[in-house]
């Protein structure tokens, strides 16, 4: 059931490394485009995103796609480190808040820092869910549900494709 509910907004992220740093350079140098969220934002046209992201990353991050459950690179990764946005490099989650939700996607009970994730009501597919979006680049990450573990009771269900894992102490 959770699978059915979640099977809507996640993905994989193999070749995100280079993209992320490239993205950063252009990111902070101001571009002409749409949506503005915070001061330090990454704004690109669809064409620009297509050049930087893999087709799967583009489908998930820019078109709100979902990677197939149990297929993502980070679903079973429990190494210490930080998960950043695959598109812009913003820190999103820390490994010590990751847990096995059994849903087929990386799950976390807390965002890495306040303001790094934007929540938006998503009424697609006949359901009412809360979409989670990177506040820096506007990339679709997944959804957040209120059936997570304590101390927050939240479950941030994220596409692996939307993330890039940086190993390190956490």
Under the rule (CB under 5 A), what is the footprint of Fe ion? 85, 87-88, 90, 134, 136-137, 139
Task: Catalytic residue, from 103, 134, 137, 157: name it.
Answer: 157
The nearer residue to Fe ion, 52 or 154, going by C-beta atoms, is 52
Residue ranges with strand state E in the chain = 81-85, 91-94, 98-99, 107-108, 117-122, 129-134, 140-145, 155-158, 163-167
The nearer residue to Fe ion, 13 or 85, going by C-beta atoms, is 85
Number of H helices, E strands in the chain: 4, 9
Please give the structure tokens belonging to residue 139: 């990339």
To Fe ion, the closest distance from the beta carbon of 23 in angstroms equals 8
Question: Does 134 qualify as catalytic in the annotation?
Answer: no
Quick check: bond before 151 cis, omega within 30? yes
To Fe ion, the closest distance from the beta carbon of 132 in angstroms equals 11
The nearer residue to Fe ion, 5 or 118, going by C-beta atoms, is 118
CA distance from start to end of the chain: 32
To Fe ion, the closest distance from the beta carbon of 144 in angstroms equals 16
Ramachandran class of 155: left when φ > 0, alpha when ψ lies in -120 to 50, beta otherwise:
beta
Please give the structure tokens belonging to residue 79: 């190494």
The nearer residue to Fe ion, 8 or 88, going by C-beta atoms, is 88
To Fe ion, the closest distance from the beta carbon of 20 in angstroms equals 9
Active site residues: 157
């Amino acid at each position: 059931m959770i699978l059915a509910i979640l099977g809507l907004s996640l993905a994989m992220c193999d070749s995100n490394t280079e993209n992320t740093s490239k993205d950063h350079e252009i990111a902070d140098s101001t571009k002409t485009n749409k949506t503005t969220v915070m001061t330090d934002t990454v704004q690109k046209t669809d064409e620009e995103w297509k050049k930087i992201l893999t087709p799967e990353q583009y489908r998930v991050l820019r078109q709100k796609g979902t990677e197939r459950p149990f297929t993502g690179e980070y679903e079973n990764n429990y190494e210490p480190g930080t998960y950043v946005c695959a598109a812009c490099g913003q820190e999103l989650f820390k490994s010590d808040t990751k847990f096995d939700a059994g849903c087929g996607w990386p799950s976390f009970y807390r965002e890495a820092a306040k303001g790094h994730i934007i929540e938006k009501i998503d009424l697609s597919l006949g359901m009412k869910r809360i979409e989670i979006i990177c506040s820096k680049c506007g990339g679709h990450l997944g959804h957040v549900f209120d059936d997570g573990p304590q101390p927050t009771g939240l479950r941030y269900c994220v596409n692996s494709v939307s993330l890039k894992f940086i190993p390190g102490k956490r």
